[in-house]
Amino acid sequence: MRWQSIGMTRLALTLLLPALAVLASCDTSPKPPGDIGVCYHYVTPKGQAPHFNVLARNVPSLEACAADLEAMRLHFVMLGGTQQELTGAYQSKFIFLQREGVMVGDTLNGIRYTALVRSGGQLVLPGAVPQQ
């Protein structure tokens, strides 16, 4: 019985791995730049190809990049802009500034993880604010 289970597992992997390779090669979504210490703003202008603009260099961490992106967003809001959400990148990770906080992901449309949350108008680490 144990040998049958191992054989079925091998068969499943034999069939699954080529399918995953084909799916991975079909992914045409943009890849975030991997430059060390460079913070990017990801822009999707109408009628043009999306691209990454350098926002800051020598940025020490993903959180610092998120803060730079938030400062840029707030600056444009003060100038009359209405964009509340934006996307950036730092060292091969996408950064998503959203109403709830900052999310991080490996891909543009894939799974996102919470990096920072909004509390009193500021971005803080999750769990840094005690619950009442």
Does the residue 5 lie in any domain?
no
Q: Residue 41 forms beta bridges with which residues?
A: 53, 88
Does the residue 120 lie in any domain?
yes
**Which pTM was predicted?**
0.74
Number of domains in the chain: 1
Residue 48 confidence (pLDDT)? 93
- Alpha helix positions (H), 1-132: 2-26, 62-78
Q: In what order do the strands lie in the sheet with 51-56?
A: 51-56, 39-43, 86-90, 93-97, 101-105, 112-119, 122-124
CA angle 99, 107, 68 (to 5 degrees): 45
More confident residue, 1 or 57: 57
Question: SS3 of 63, please?
Answer: helix
pLDDT per residue as tens digits for the range 105-121:
999 999 999 999 888 77
Does the residue 55 lie in any domain?
yes
pLDDT per residue as tens digits for the range 21-45:
555 556 678 999 999 999 999 999 9
Interacting residues of 128 by C-beta distance below 8 A, sequence separation 6+: 119
Does the residue 12 lie in any domain?
no
pLDDT per residue as tens digits for the range 72-90:
999 998 999 888 899 999 9
Which DSSP state fits 40? E
Find the mean pLDDT for residues 45-70: 95
CB of 93 within 8 A of CB of 33? no
